[in-house]
Amino acid sequence: TQLLEQSPQFLSIQEGENLTVYCNSSSVFSSLQWYRQEPGEGPVLLVTVVTGGEVKKLKRLTFQFGDARKDSSLHITAAQPGDTGLYLCAGAGNQGGKLIFGQGTELSVKP
Amino acid sequence: DAGVTQSPTHLIKTRGQHVTLRCSPISGHKSVSWYQQVLGQGPQFIFQYYEKEERGRGNFPDRFSARQFPNYSSELNVNALLLGDSALYLCASSLTGTGVSEQYFGPGTRLTVT
Protein backbone atom coordinates (compact mmCIF):
# COMPACT_ATOMS: atom_id res chain seq x y z
CA THR A 1 0.00 0.00 0.00
CA GLN A 2 1.40 3.36 -1.01
CA LEU A 3 1.45 5.97 1.75
CA LEU A 4 2.57 9.59 1.88
CA GLU A 5 3.65 11.03 5.21
CA GLN A 6 3.35 14.79 5.31
CA SER A 7 4.90 16.95 8.03
CA PRO A 8 4.35 19.04 9.95
CA GLN A 9 0.61 18.65 10.33
CA PHE A 10 0.15 22.18 11.72
CA LEU A 11 2.31 25.26 11.34
CA SER A 12 1.68 28.71 12.78
CA ILE A 13 4.22 31.39 11.89
CA GLN A 14 4.62 35.17 11.70
CA GLU A 15 4.55 37.08 8.44
CA GLY A 16 8.01 37.21 6.86
CA GLU A 17 9.23 33.86 8.20
CA ASN A 18 10.36 30.97 6.00
CA LEU A 19 8.98 27.43 6.23
CA THR A 20 9.37 23.99 4.72
CA VAL A 21 6.77 21.24 4.37
CA TYR A 22 7.92 17.66 3.80
CA CYS A 23 6.26 14.77 2.01
CA ASN A 24 7.86 11.33 2.38
CA SER A 25 7.12 7.82 1.18
CA SER A 26 8.79 4.44 0.78
CA SER A 27 7.14 4.14 -2.65
CA VAL A 28 8.23 5.56 -5.98
CA PHE A 29 5.78 7.89 -7.72
CA SER A 30 5.62 8.75 -11.43
CA SER A 31 4.70 12.32 -10.47
CA LEU A 32 3.95 14.36 -7.40
CA GLN A 33 1.48 17.21 -7.24
CA TRP A 34 1.13 19.96 -4.64
CA TYR A 35 -2.23 21.55 -3.92
CA ARG A 36 -3.53 24.35 -1.72
CA GLN A 37 -7.03 24.11 -0.31
CA GLU A 38 -9.24 26.74 1.33
CA PRO A 39 -11.98 25.66 3.79
CA GLY A 40 -15.03 24.25 2.00
CA GLU A 41 -13.40 24.41 -1.43
CA GLY A 42 -11.64 21.98 -3.72
CA PRO A 43 -7.83 21.70 -3.84
CA VAL A 44 -6.12 24.04 -6.31
CA LEU A 45 -3.13 22.65 -8.20
CA LEU A 46 0.11 24.56 -7.51
CA VAL A 47 2.70 22.46 -9.31
CA THR A 48 3.49 19.01 -10.71
CA VAL A 49 7.00 17.52 -10.48
CA VAL A 50 7.89 14.52 -12.62
CA THR A 51 11.67 14.11 -12.86
CA GLY A 52 13.80 12.96 -9.92
CA GLY A 53 15.78 15.93 -8.53
CA GLU A 54 13.50 18.43 -10.25
CA VAL A 55 13.14 21.89 -8.69
CA LYS A 56 10.30 24.24 -9.63
CA LYS A 57 9.71 27.77 -8.43
CA LEU A 58 6.41 29.62 -8.24
CA LYS A 59 7.11 33.16 -6.97
CA ARG A 60 8.04 32.64 -3.28
CA LEU A 61 7.31 28.89 -3.37
CA THR A 62 10.01 26.34 -4.22
CA PHE A 63 9.12 22.71 -4.86
CA GLN A 64 11.62 19.85 -5.02
CA PHE A 65 11.19 16.22 -6.05
CA GLY A 66 13.63 13.76 -4.48
CA ASP A 67 16.22 12.04 -6.66
CA ALA A 68 14.53 8.66 -6.10
CA ARG A 69 11.04 10.15 -6.68
CA LYS A 70 9.92 9.03 -3.21
CA ASP A 71 9.81 12.37 -1.44
CA SER A 72 9.19 16.06 -2.02
CA SER A 73 9.39 19.36 -0.21
CA LEU A 74 7.69 22.74 -0.42
CA HIS A 75 9.62 25.78 0.80
CA ILE A 76 7.93 29.16 1.24
CA THR A 77 10.10 32.26 1.57
CA ALA A 78 8.86 35.32 3.46
CA ALA A 79 5.41 33.90 4.16
CA GLN A 80 2.43 36.24 3.90
CA PRO A 81 -1.07 36.00 5.47
CA GLY A 82 -2.42 35.16 1.99
CA ASP A 83 -0.40 31.91 2.11
CA THR A 84 -2.68 30.62 4.88
CA GLY A 85 -4.42 27.38 3.94
CA LEU A 86 -4.16 23.61 3.78
CA TYR A 87 -1.23 22.35 1.69
CA LEU A 88 -1.54 18.84 0.27
CA CYS A 89 0.98 16.67 -1.51
CA ALA A 90 -0.31 13.88 -3.75
CA GLY A 91 1.61 11.15 -5.53
CA ALA A 92 0.54 9.35 -8.69
CA GLY A 93 1.58 5.78 -9.50
CA ASN A 94 2.47 4.31 -12.86
CA GLN A 95 -0.80 2.50 -13.46
CA GLY A 96 -3.25 5.32 -13.66
CA GLY A 97 -4.48 8.59 -12.29
CA LYS A 98 -5.11 7.49 -8.71
CA LEU A 99 -3.62 10.12 -6.41
CA ILE A 100 -2.35 9.16 -2.96
CA PHE A 101 -2.64 12.20 -0.69
CA GLY A 102 -0.70 13.12 2.40
CA GLN A 103 -2.61 14.18 5.52
CA GLY A 104 -2.06 17.85 4.73
CA THR A 105 -0.27 20.73 6.45
CA GLU A 106 -2.50 23.42 7.95
CA LEU A 107 -0.53 26.67 7.60
CA SER A 108 -1.46 29.85 9.45
CA VAL A 109 0.53 33.02 8.77
CA LYS A 110 -0.16 35.80 11.25
CA PRO A 111 0.37 39.46 10.31
CA ASP B 1 -12.89 28.21 -20.01
CA ALA B 2 -15.00 26.69 -17.24
CA GLY B 3 -13.26 24.54 -14.68
CA VAL B 4 -14.59 21.36 -13.14
CA THR B 5 -18.18 21.81 -11.99
CA GLN B 6 -20.02 19.76 -9.39
CA SER B 7 -23.61 19.65 -8.24
CA PRO B 8 -25.16 20.04 -5.80
CA THR B 9 -22.85 22.11 -3.59
CA HIS B 10 -24.47 20.96 -0.37
CA LEU B 11 -26.74 18.04 0.48
CA ILE B 12 -28.35 16.76 3.65
CA LYS B 13 -29.58 13.16 3.70
CA THR B 14 -30.87 10.70 6.28
CA ARG B 15 -29.27 7.37 7.10
CA GLY B 16 -30.38 4.63 4.70
CA GLN B 17 -31.14 7.00 1.82
CA HIS B 18 -29.21 7.11 -1.42
CA VAL B 19 -27.52 10.06 -3.11
CA THR B 20 -26.31 10.97 -6.60
CA LEU B 21 -23.53 13.49 -7.09
CA ARG B 22 -22.68 14.95 -10.48
CA CYS B 23 -19.50 16.23 -12.09
CA SER B 24 -18.64 17.89 -15.40
CA PRO B 25 -14.94 17.83 -16.35
CA ILE B 26 -12.91 20.54 -18.01
CA SER B 27 -13.65 20.66 -21.74
CA GLY B 28 -11.35 18.24 -23.57
CA HIS B 29 -10.58 16.14 -20.49
CA LYS B 30 -11.55 12.50 -20.80
CA SER B 31 -10.82 11.21 -17.32
CA VAL B 32 -12.78 11.82 -14.13
CA SER B 33 -11.80 10.71 -10.64
CA TRP B 34 -13.79 10.84 -7.42
CA TYR B 35 -12.36 11.42 -3.94
CA GLN B 36 -13.81 11.54 -0.44
CA GLN B 37 -12.37 14.03 2.04
CA VAL B 38 -13.27 13.71 5.69
CA LEU B 39 -12.64 16.77 7.87
CA GLY B 40 -9.00 17.07 8.86
CA GLN B 41 -7.69 14.51 6.37
CA GLY B 42 -6.41 14.41 2.82
CA PRO B 43 -8.74 13.19 0.05
CA GLN B 44 -9.16 9.42 -0.39
CA PHE B 45 -9.48 7.92 -3.89
CA ILE B 46 -12.83 6.30 -4.71
CA PHE B 47 -13.00 5.79 -8.51
CA GLN B 48 -11.36 6.75 -11.76
CA TYR B 49 -13.07 6.64 -15.15
CA TYR B 50 -11.47 7.12 -18.54
CA GLU B 51 -13.34 6.98 -21.82
CA LYS B 52 -16.41 5.67 -19.97
CA GLU B 53 -14.56 2.69 -18.47
CA GLU B 54 -13.59 2.18 -14.85
CA ARG B 55 -9.81 2.48 -14.56
CA GLY B 56 -9.41 2.19 -10.82
CA ARG B 57 -11.32 1.68 -7.61
CA GLY B 58 -10.31 2.58 -4.08
CA ASN B 59 -11.03 0.75 -0.85
CA PHE B 60 -14.70 1.65 -0.59
CA PRO B 61 -17.72 -0.68 -0.12
CA ASP B 62 -20.02 -1.73 -2.93
CA ARG B 63 -22.53 0.88 -1.76
CA PHE B 64 -20.41 3.29 -3.80
CA SER B 65 -20.76 3.18 -7.58
CA ALA B 66 -20.07 5.54 -10.43
CA ARG B 67 -20.34 5.89 -14.17
CA GLN B 68 -19.12 8.16 -16.94
CA PHE B 69 -21.29 9.34 -19.79
CA PRO B 70 -20.44 9.83 -23.52
CA ASN B 71 -19.92 13.57 -22.88
CA TYR B 72 -17.36 12.58 -20.15
CA SER B 73 -19.49 13.88 -17.28
CA SER B 74 -19.82 11.52 -14.34
CA GLU B 75 -22.10 10.52 -11.50
CA LEU B 76 -21.19 9.08 -8.12
CA ASN B 77 -23.92 7.09 -6.39
CA VAL B 78 -23.95 6.08 -2.75
CA ASN B 79 -26.63 3.72 -1.44
CA ALA B 80 -27.73 2.95 2.13
CA LEU B 81 -26.05 6.06 3.52
CA LEU B 82 -24.24 5.84 6.85
CA LEU B 83 -23.30 8.65 9.23
CA GLY B 84 -19.67 8.00 8.31
CA ASP B 85 -20.37 8.92 4.69
CA SER B 86 -20.58 12.57 5.74
CA ALA B 87 -17.72 14.25 3.89
CA LEU B 88 -16.68 16.56 1.08
CA TYR B 89 -16.88 14.64 -2.21
CA LEU B 90 -14.44 15.90 -4.80
CA CYS B 91 -14.34 15.33 -8.51
CA ALA B 92 -11.13 15.78 -10.48
CA SER B 93 -10.63 15.81 -14.22
CA SER B 94 -7.50 15.12 -16.22
CA LEU B 95 -6.59 14.91 -19.86
CA THR B 96 -5.56 11.27 -20.09
CA GLY B 97 -5.89 9.77 -16.63
CA THR B 98 -2.30 8.54 -16.55
CA GLY B 99 0.12 8.99 -13.68
CA VAL B 100 1.69 12.12 -15.16
CA SER B 101 -1.59 13.74 -16.15
CA GLU B 102 -2.39 16.65 -13.86
CA GLN B 103 -5.68 16.50 -12.00
CA TYR B 104 -7.87 19.56 -11.52
CA PHE B 105 -10.47 19.53 -8.79
CA GLY B 106 -13.97 20.91 -8.62
CA PRO B 107 -15.35 22.79 -5.62
CA GLY B 108 -16.81 19.62 -4.12
CA THR B 109 -20.19 18.52 -2.78
CA ARG B 110 -20.60 18.71 0.99
CA LEU B 111 -22.70 15.71 2.05
CA THR B 112 -24.14 15.58 5.55
CA VAL B 113 -25.85 12.37 6.70
CA THR B 114 -28.06 12.67 9.78
List of chain A residues whose C-beta atoms are within 8 Å of the C-beta of residue B48: 96-98
**Confidence at residue B40, expressed as pLDDT on a 0 to 100 scale:** 85
Whether B110 contacts chain A with CB within 8 A: yes
| Chain B residues within 8 A of A29 when measuring between CB atoms | 99
Q: What is the pLDDT of residue B90?
A: 98
Residue in A with minimal Cα distance to B111: A40
10-residue averages of pLDDT along chain A (111 residues): 90 97 93 93 94 95 95 97 96 80 96 95
Contact status of B66 with chain A (Cβ, < 8 Å): no
Residue type, B96: T
Model confidence over B58-112: pLDDT tens digits? Answer: 999 999 999 999 999 999 999 999 999 999 999 999 988 776 778 999 999 999 9
Phi then psi for residue B94, to 5 deg, are -145, 160
CA distance A22 to chain B (A): 15
CB B54 within 8 A of CB B47: yes
pLDDT digits (tens, 9 = 90+) for B21-64: 999 999 999 999 999 999 889 999 999 999 999 999 999 999 99
> Does B58 contact A at CB distance below 8 Å?
yes
Beta-ladder partners of A32: A49, A91
β B74-78/B64-68 pair status: antiparallel
CA distance linking residue B51 with residue B53, whole number of Å: 6
Distance (Å, whole) CA B33 – CA A97: 8
Q: Per DSSP, what are the bridge partners of residue B24?
A: B5
